Structure 1
């Protein structure tokens, strides 16, 4: 019935099953259909689903949906984070050296 596109409510009524049983059967159906990862992703995203959809749509419009593209984006983000951290370290070092410079004058 799931494969035919029947909704959970229709299945519960037709088979006289509880909500919990229908949901359990639906999860089993998704696992058998290899869609359980999608459901797990949905639960993992929870409140960030809207943001994730916007990210997906942006990446799609930019043509960045291959595995290689996603790996490169993640790698670039890590590099950017490290560069920003290095900038702050260098700002601190410049400040320290300016103090030494003023003391030497």
Structure 2
């Protein structure tokens, strides 16, 4: 869309890939620790469900990818990002309320 590839700027592609890998590793660690904390009593089921939904997202993306132009894919990605951010905020609010009510009980 906004970026045009240049042959002499191949190093930029490698830098973007390295940055993407590092960020993905951090996000996976955070996601795995969050799932582990939220579902302490049912770890196997929680991590199994997590991997199923991750695989489902990859499959759906792979299926629709050849049929949509890049603009639409970017809009879908930002939409999913916005929904994920809202869900993370809601999860944080729920966890803080439950933690606050636990402190009041003692």
With structure 1 as the length reference, what TM-score do the two structures score? 0.37
- The structure whose residues are more often helix, as a share, is 2
Larger-Rg structure: 1
With structure 2 as the length reference, what TM-score do the two structures score? 0.37
Larger RCO (alpha carbons 8 Å, 6+ apart): 2
